[in-house]
């Protein structure tokens, strides 16, 4: 007996800046290298040119779906100047996916902005929605036959990043404490575990832009529209329930409420985190921690899909789940466990439409190359792709519609 329905989407996710290379008109490109210890994206995985090979590997393994992004900074390198050649490039990617039998899931914004947009004031500028929707309108011209569109990836992480940048600009914090500080996992752990919770005013520009983009996509395409939230799988002891509700509201429920009229909710889950009377509890050093210092919590995905679907009343599409590790057997173990929690949720009646593993390729992890999330390793000198055992393992799970995961209690 398998919990996964026959039309369940099985695949992997990427984002443009992390794999394409030479995204020179983006704000991230401009920022890279300015912070000590931060690595640059450079040629990345050169997936801009090698996307067919990447999709072919995914399809050959038995997977049926690929989530990838369109890079705003390439489509509109100057405000109001839209590149027909770049639109054609992304249309070729969509055609290639369809030709290989992969359902394309398209992300329109994944952390990076065009440099001109950032210089104009970015998401805090009064023009933010107008600028974003002009780009979205241009992209609708290439979205024929695309069934799934994610407008903005992790608006809650974006709001947090914008809040930190603002605090830096106004001198409230001396240096942007991004997870890019040189050193071991413990440095990153300290920072990642102490990320501030964004206040509601930083959420508003993203909510407004998402709603405006959704209207345009509904008018001009036949795609299902949603956005994908960083789901924290937050929990607390019973006596801190009230604080949990407050923190979870600002961290994710605000963004889930803003999705209730969408067609699906994108769920992105890696780990779980405790809340106590003071707020998020920094996660301590532990031998089981992953390469980015997060707790090893495959069960988080089960809590995340339950919470996101309960709050929104929408079907979930798991748009990201994975583990940064150099030990591929551990990746397989983590993913098998995470999927068993998804299967339990489906058995209980939770609507889940698909599972997209993060990530197809080892890639640029926002300042670092060390954390390897990929089902495929990439030689950064030669760009040779080497599939890891986890790729064929996940392909087998897909071909068997989950049956190869084995019997569950």
Q: Which residues bind ligand BGC (CB under 6 A)?
A: 15, 18, 153-154, 157, 230, 268, 320, 358, 365
What is the rounded CA–CA span in Å between residue 47 and residue 51? 5
Burial grade of 242 (CB within 10 A; 0-12, 13-18, 19 or more): exposed
Q: In terms of Cα–Cα distance, which of 92, 110, 106, 100 is closest to 158?
A: 110
User: Is 66 strand, coil or helix?
Assistant: strand
Q: Which is nearer to ligand BGC, 13 or 140 (CB)?
A: 13
CB of 290 to ligand BGC, least distance (A): 10
Q: Which is nearer to ligand BGC, 18 or 312 (CB)?
A: 18
What is the rounded CA–CA span in Å between residue 143 and residue 130? 20
Are 149 and 221 spatial neighbours (Cβ–Cβ below 8 Å)?
yes
Q: Which is nearer to ligand BGC, 140 or 390 (CB)?
A: 390
Q: Which residue in the list 154, 189, 252, 365 is annotated as catalytic?
A: 154
CB of 268 to ligand BGC, least distance (A): 6
CB of 225 to ligand BGC, least distance (A): 18
Helices (H), ranges, 252-367? 254-257, 300-312, 328-347
Q: Which is nearer to ligand BGC, 185 or 346 (CB)?
A: 185
Check if 182 is active-site. Answer: no
Q: Which is nearer to ligand BGC, 14 or 140 (CB)?
A: 14
What is the rounded CA–CA span in Å between residue 19 and residue 402? 28
User: Look-up: residue for tokens 């990746």?
Assistant: 331
Write the DSSP symbol of residue 229. Answer: E
CB of 218 to ligand BGC, least distance (A): 24
DSSP secondary structure letters along 173-188: SSS---TT-SS-HHHH
CB of 245 to ligand BGC, least distance (A): 23
Strand partners, 316: 265, 352
Catalytic residues: 154
């Amino acid at each position: 007996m398998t919990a996964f329905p026959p039309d369940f989407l099985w695949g992997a996710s990427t984002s443009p800046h992390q794999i394409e290379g030479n995204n020179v008109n983006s704000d991230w490109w401009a920022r890279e290298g300015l912070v000590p210890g931060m690595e640059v994206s450079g040629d990345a995985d050169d997936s801009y040119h090698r996307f067919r090979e990447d999709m072919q590997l995914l399809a050959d393994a038995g997977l049926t779906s690929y989530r990838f992004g369109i890079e705003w900074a390439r489509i509109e390198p100057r405000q109001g100047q839209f590149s027909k050649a770049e639109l054609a490039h992304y249309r070729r990617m969509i055609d290639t996916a369809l030709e290989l039998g992969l359902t394309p899931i398209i992300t329109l914004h994944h952390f990076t902005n065009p440099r001109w947009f950032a210089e104009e004031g970015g998401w805090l500028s009064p023009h933010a929605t107008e600028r974003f929707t002009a780009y979205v309108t241009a992209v609708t011209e290439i979205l024929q036959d695309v069934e799934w569109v994610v407008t903005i990836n992790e608006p809650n992480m974006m709001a947090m990043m914008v809040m930190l940048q603002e605090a830096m600009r106004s001198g409230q914090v001396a240096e942007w404490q991004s997870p890019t500080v040189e050193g071991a996992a413990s440095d990153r752990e300290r920072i990642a575990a102490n990320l501030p919770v964004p206040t509601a005013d930083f959420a508003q520009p993203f909510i407004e832009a998402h709603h405006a983009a959704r209207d345009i996509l509904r008018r001009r395409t036949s795609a299902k529209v949603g956005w994908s939230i960083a789901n924290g799988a937050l929990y607390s002891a019973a006596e801190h329930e009230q604080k949990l509700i407050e923190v979870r509201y600002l961290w994710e429920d605000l963004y889930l409420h803003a999705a209730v009229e969408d067609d699906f909710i994108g769920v992105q889950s890696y780990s779980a985190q405790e809340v106590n009377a003071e707020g998020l509890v920094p996660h301590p050093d532990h031998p089981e921690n992953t390469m980015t210092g997060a707790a090893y919590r495959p069960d988080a995905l089960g809590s995340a899909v339950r919470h996101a679907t309960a709050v929104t009343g929408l079907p979930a599409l798991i748009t990201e789940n994975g583990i940064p590790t150099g030990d591929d057997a551990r990746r397989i173990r983590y993913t098998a466990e995470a999927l068993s929690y998804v299967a339990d949720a489906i058995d209980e009646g939770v609507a889940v439409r698909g599972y997209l593993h993060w990530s197809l390729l080892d890639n640029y992890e926002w300042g670092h190359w060390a954390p390897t999330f990929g089902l495929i390793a990439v030689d950064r000198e030669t760009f040779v792709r080497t599939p890891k055992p986890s790729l064929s393992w996940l392909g087998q799970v897909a071909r068997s519609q989950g049956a190869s995961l084995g019997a569950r209690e």
